[in-house]
C-alpha cells in the first residue's frame, strides 16, 4: 500500500470522524478477557502512516466496560466525552474531559462509563505492540476490591 498522504479527518456528528470506520463491539470475550458496549474508531493506524504510533478513539456506552487486562506496551489515554472510571492496579479514578492517563507497562487496567452518557477517549499506543493478557486472579480481586476513588 502507498504511504498515506497528508489528510484531514473531520470531526462530525455522533462523535465520529469522516472517513473513519465505527467498529461496534457489543460484547465479547477472548482468552479470559471480556468487554461490553465499545465502539472503536482507528483514526491513525490503518493507512500506512509513517508514525511509530496509532491513534484510536473509543467510546464506552453506559453500563459498558473495556476488558480488565495488562500488557507490556504502555497506553496514553485522553478523556474526551462524558465521564469515565479507570481502574489502574488496585485503585479507581474518575476521569473528566482532557484528563490524561499514562498507563505504564503491565499495569492491570479497565475503563468504564461513569454517567448516563457514553465515555469517549483517545488511546495512543505504539504501532508495534504485544497482545493484551488476562490479569491474574490476585490482580482481578484487587481491581474488584478497589472501592474509594484514588487521589492523583
Residues that bind a second copy in the complex, under the rule CB under 8 A? 3-11, 17, 43-44, 49-53, 55, 73-74, 76, 78-80, 86, 88-89, 93, 95-105, 107, 122, 124, 126-128, 152
Query: What's the CA gap between 96 and 86, in Å, rounded?
Result: 11
C-beta of 31: minimal distance to a second copy in Å?
23
Query: What's the CA gap between 26 and 120, in Å, rounded?
Result: 15
C-beta of 29: minimal distance to a second copy in Å?
25
Active-site hit among 103, 123, 135, 143 = 123
Select 137 or 151, whichever has its Cβ closest to a second copy: 151
Select 33 or 73, whichever has its Cβ closest to a second copy: 73
Select 6 or 147, whichever has its Cβ closest to a second copy: 6
Is 50 one of the catalytic residues? no
DSSP per-residue codes, 23-92: EEEEEEEETTEEEEEEEEEEEESSS--S-SEEEEEEEEEEEEE---EE-SS-EEEEEEES-EEEEETTEE
Residue 103's nearest CA partner among 74, 140, 146 is: 74
C-beta of 84: minimal distance to a second copy in Å?
12
Q: Which residue has the cell 500488557?
A: 71
Query: The C-alpha cell of 30 is what?
Result: 477472548
Residues annotated catalytic, as ranges: 123
Amino acid at each position: 500500500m502507498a504511504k498515506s498522504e497528508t489528510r484531514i479527518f473531520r470531526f462530525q456528528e455522533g462523535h465520529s470522524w469522516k472517513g473513519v470506520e465505527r467498529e461496534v463491539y457489543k460484547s465479547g470475550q477472548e482468552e479470559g478477557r471480556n468487554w461490553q458496549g465499545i465502539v472503536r474508531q482507528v483514526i491513525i493506524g490503518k493507512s500506512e502512516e509513517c508514525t511509530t504510533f496509532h491513534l484510536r478513539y473509543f467510546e464506552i456506552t453506559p453500563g459498558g466496560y473495556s476488558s480488565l487486562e495488562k500488557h507490556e506496551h504502555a497506553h496514553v489515554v485522553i478523556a474526551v466525552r462524558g465521564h469515565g472510571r479507570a481502574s489502574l492496579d488496585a485503585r479507581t479514578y474518575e476521569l473528566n474531559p482532557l484528563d490524561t492517563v499514562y498507563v505504564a507497562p503491565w499495569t492491570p487496567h479497565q475503563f468504564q462509563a461513569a454517567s448516563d452518557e457514553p465515555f469517549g477517549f483517545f488511546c495512543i499506543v505504539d504501532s508495534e505492540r504485544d497482545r493484551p493478557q488476562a490479569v491474574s486472579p490476585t490482580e482481578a480481586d484487587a481491581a474488584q476490591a478497589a472501592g474509594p476513588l484514588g487521589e492523583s
